Amino acid sequence: MSTGRSLAEVIAADGPLAPRDAARVGAQVLAALVRGHREGLVHGAVEPARVQLEGGRAVLAEFADGPYDGDPEYLAPERTAGRAPGPETDLWSLGATLFTAVEGRPPFPGRRPGPAERPPEPRRAGTLAPVIASLLRPDPGQRPGAEWTGHMLDRVAAGLTVGPATAEALPARETVAVAAPAGPPTGPPAPRAAGARRRPGVWVAALVLALAVLGGVVFLLVGRGGTHHQAGTASPSVPPSATGPPSGVQPPSTEPSAPQTTPATPTTTPTTPSPTTPPPATESPSPAAPSTPAPSTPAQTPGAEVPPGYVRTTDPAGFSFAAPIGWTRTDNGMGAGDYSPDNRGHILRFTVVPNPAGQAPLDGFLQIERSLTQQGGYSRIDLRTNTYQGNPGASWEFTFGSAHLGAQSFLAPNGTEYTVYLSTPESDWAAYQPVLATALNTFTIP
């Protein structure tokens, strides 16, 4: 897949994609759709021409207030029947896009599908065929949900087989709370202070940002004014206290955390401040920050200890780091998890993705920056190559509208690229920046 071309252009010039490559692209597009759907947005025109491929990253363009009228070949059957579009119509269009990716042509060339019309069986889809068939069911109520689809695409991308989309066969992704292994309980999230800000029901998505390599992606939907929201999908089986979007949180406990079980690797991050002890809880219209700003010189103590208010946490992906006590984890479908106090505008995100070609992390950041610059509202604070834990890396800090983001990426010796990133409203960056510093100073890989 070449850089800077749409999926349609790649197919026209280079031919169809291999099923595993198509699944990786589909997983990235799906992640963007999930973000939009959580904000009440329907894309309405998912098609190869609107999927931009940049060095293995897939960017889905053109979310808006209302759905676009896309190419008729990629409109779901219910759209043909005049029914209002919904998330399931985007999933059908994703299925049609995947069909085109592996077959080199759409399932219904040159026309809209009939209301009950089934597509032909793809001949080149391999293990992706059951996924495509499930998504292209004419009855929207019979299509798999986004979580199930994500699991199926992950399996295909990993070279595994999949069957029909059923709740029994495909488990939901989980949201779990980060708790201290010992010591006093942290308690439930605190209620929002009177007069606090609330999120509007619908955001105009101005950008879809991809940050990863082939199969893992960070999608940021930045709404009007640049507000950034959490991207994971919660399991309905998890209690609301762990999954819902509470409007305020308790700050991490000021009691000393339990001794860490895995020593942290020394960290060198030139532009990231050291963590400091969290302040006492105070009422604020934003979630209480877990720490206060610190000097710009990072901690370089070998085996950095977990500071008070944090707990060493091992992500299912295998790495460990110090997370603020009480923050919840949501599987982000990108090889790791999102950690947040509010499942909303304050997110510590990790991605773990293969980078066998050894692409420099800075190159990936620069490619994304070009896309951001075209959108307007982007301002670079710092972007540089660096060495992180002895590995080639890059750090990036910028604002987009009223959102403030910082990221550190590095390439491990085994060809895996890790990225740690923090996103907050600009007004909260100084208070939350130590969360990123703590994660980086205590981060260890298997």
Q: 103 and 208: one domain?
A: no
Token pair 């066969």 in the structure block, residue: 169
The secondary structure of residue 75, as a DSSP letter, is S
Tokens (6 digits) for 441:
């100073």
Asked if residue 206 has pLDDT above 50, the reply is no
How many separate domains does the chain show?
2
Q: Which of 147-156, 332-341, 382-391 has the lowest mean pLDDT?
A: 332-341
Quick check: is 305 in a domain?
Answer: yes
Between the ranges 138-147, 207-216, 250-259, where is the mean pLDDT highest?
138-147
316 domain residue, yes or no: yes
Contacts of the segment 363-368: beta carbons below 8 A, 24+ positions apart: 363/55, 364/55, 364/57, 364/211, 364/212, 364/213, 364/394, 364/409, 365/211, 365/394, 365/396, 365/407, 365/409, 367/3, 367/54, 367/55, 367/57, 368/54, 368/57, 368/209, 368/210, 368/211
Query: Does the pLDDT value for residue 202 go beyond 50?
Result: no
Q: For residue 243, is it within any domain?
A: no
Helix %, strand %, coil % of the chain (to 5): 25, 20, 55
The reply to whether 226 falls in a domain is no
Domain membership of residue 317 as a residue range = 175-187+203-214+260-442
| Cα 19 to Cα 26: distance, rounded to the nearest angstrom | 10
Model confidence at 161, in pLDDT bands (50, 70, 90)?
A: low
- The CATH number given to whatever domain includes residue 297 is 3.40.1000.10
Q: Note whether residue 231 is domain-resident.
A: no
Q: How far apart are CA 60 and CA 45, in angstroms?
A: 10
CA distance 435 to 347: 10
Nearest to 48 by CA among 82, 17, 89: 17
Q: Are residues 438 and 361 in the same domain?
A: yes
Full DSSP string of 316-339 = TTS-EEEEETT-EEEE-SSSSEEE
* Residue 142 identity: Q
Average pLDDT over residues 397-405: 90
Residues 125 and 180 placed together within one structural domain of the fold: no
Rg (CA), the chain: 22
| 271 CB burial (10 A radius; 0-12, 13-18, 19+) | middle
Q: What is the pTM of this model?
A: 0.46
Which residue in 203, 236, 234 sits closest to 220, CA to CA? 203
The mean pLDDT of the chain is: 70
Residues 120 and 181 in one domain: no
Residues 104 and 38 in one domain: yes
pLDDT tens digit sequence for 335-351: 688 899 987 678 999 98
Distance of CA 1 to the CA centre of its chain: 22
**For residues 142 and 128, what is the distance between their CA atoms, to the nearest angstrom?**
18
Assess whether 96 and 63 both reside in one domain: yes
CB 289 within 8 A of CB 283: no
Residue 26: give its domain's CATH number: 1.10.510.10
Q: Are residues 268 and 379 in the same domain?
A: yes
Residue 158 vs residues 27, 151, 412, 416, 418: alpha-carbon distances, Å: 12, 11, 20, 14, 18
Q: Using the structure block, give the residue that is written with the tokens 């991207």.
A: 231
Which of the residue ranges 22-31, 121-130, 223-232, 390-399 would you say has the lowest mean pLDDT?
223-232
Q: For residue 169, is pLDDT > 80? A: no
Mean pLDDT of 285-311: 54
Q: In terms of pLDDT, which residue wins out, 55 or 166?
A: 55
- Domain membership of residue 301 (yes or no) is yes
Q: Which residue has the tokens 């889905």?
A: 60
Q: Based on the fold, state whether residues 351 and 382 are members of the same structural domain.
A: yes
Is residue 304 domain-resident? yes
130 and 42 in a common domain: yes
CA-wise closest residue to 353 among 211, 215, 219, 232 = 215
12 and 144: one domain?
Answer: yes
pLDDT, average across residues 152-166: 70
Same domain (yes/no): 150, 265: no
Give SS3 for 294: coil
In a domain, 227, yes or no: no
**65 and 180, same domain (yes or no):** no
Q: How confident is the model at residue 23, as a pLDDT?
A: 93
Q: What pLDDT does residue 298 have?
A: 36
